[in-house]
Amino acid sequence: MTTPRLLLALFALVHFTASLLSQAAELPVRGLSIRAPDTNQAERFVAFIEDELAPRKINLLVLRVDYRFDYQSHPELASETPLTLPQVKKIVAVARENGIRLVPQINLLGHQSWHSTLGRLLTVYPEFDETPQIKLPEPGTYKWPNEDGLYCKSYCPQHPDLHEIVFALIDEITEAFEADAFHAGLDEVFYIGHEQCPRCAGQDKAELFAGEVRKLRDHLAKTGKELWMWGDRLLDAETTGLGMWEASDNDTHRAVDLIPKDVVICDWHYERAEQTPAYFALKGFDVLACPWNKPEVARAQLRQAIDFRRHSNPRLADRHRGILHTYWSSAERFMDLYESPGDADERTLGPIKVLREIFPKAVAE
């Protein structure tokens, strides 16, 4: 390619990228999902919101709190280094000052363990375990796949004592964060309707999943709050070709037609910019596209969101709310990498690059 043609191509690329990012700034939602900080990182996180996230016009933070809060309703479930209520109020204040909506999250139904470690809920209340006979492996010995099909434990959604506790946590955390929505996780649920569970064995898994979604949604609706969730269990792994992680191969996908349409779907795909946000919008749900660590995928998801809103009728267009970037380690680790990437590899730095690329500051970095 000759020099003039090369320069023309570079100019066109720069112009296209600038145009894309300019349009992206107009998306209704420009969000980040990140683990809530531990108590010793709270002040630093408040400053990070003020100095780094707000200038990027981020207007949504989904904070994965789980048990990192000083719960008063069930103090036995709080982690060893929980956020205090005064610390949460500082996060609320800086978010409000910068027009950032806060949505707290507790992983519900699935993700009740990780490798050899049981989560707080099942540690304190082992009677809620959907699969009590399946034991976690010794530390350092977990492997996938395994004969038990163990990825993460689930709680039994039909245990009679479960929801009194879960609802108390939801009420307390949404009140603390002064939130009008709650994210329940609900992703990667592999154990549901399991043969070991005396209450759920043999039941329709889509009905069980939808029943739990409805219970959570109905509880939140009593106080005018939205339920948010990840969308993978509502996609058919076989039909979509997405596999058992990004979609469901245990029949929960049929729940998409059994749950209220005011549930907000966070549609995560990390390898390709799948077209599934359109599917959820056509089903009647508000949806967010969720990237992670590949800038090229995030850019494609951004283009899709813009194009969908531009080329759809107003009712359909409004259902695609925008982008929710995701990060799956600690807030401390994210801030460390953001401030000083060092010699971290591309996969580790990917989420930082995604943040910088799709949510740039007004002044070039």
Which of 188, 212, 246, 274 is the catalytic position?
Answer: 188
Q: Which amino acid is at 123?
A: T
Residue 274 known to be catalytic: no
Report which DSSP code applies to 294.
-
- The full DSSP string for 39-95 is GGGHHHHHHHIIIIIGGGT--EEEEE-TT-B--SS-GGG--SSPBPHHHHHHHHHHH
Question: Quick one: tokens of 150?
Answer: 């163990």
Side-chain-facing half-sphere of 197: CA atoms under 13 Å: 24
How far is residue 280 CA from its own chain's centroid? 16
Nearest to 262 by CA among 328, 192, 336, 181: 181
| Residue corresponding to tokens 């800038």 | 295
Residues 208-219 as b or e (16 or more Cβ within 10 Å = b): bbbbbbbbbbeb
Task: Tell me how far apart the alpha carbons of residues 290 and 340 are, in angstroms, rounded to a whole number.
Answer: 25
Measured CA to CA in angstroms, residue 219 lies from 23, 171, 200, 252 at distances of 37, 9, 22, 21
Task: Tell me how far apart the alpha carbons of residues 209 and 139 are, in angstroms, rounded to a whole number.
Answer: 30
Q: By three-state DSSP, how is residue 10 classified?
A: helix
Active-site positions read 188
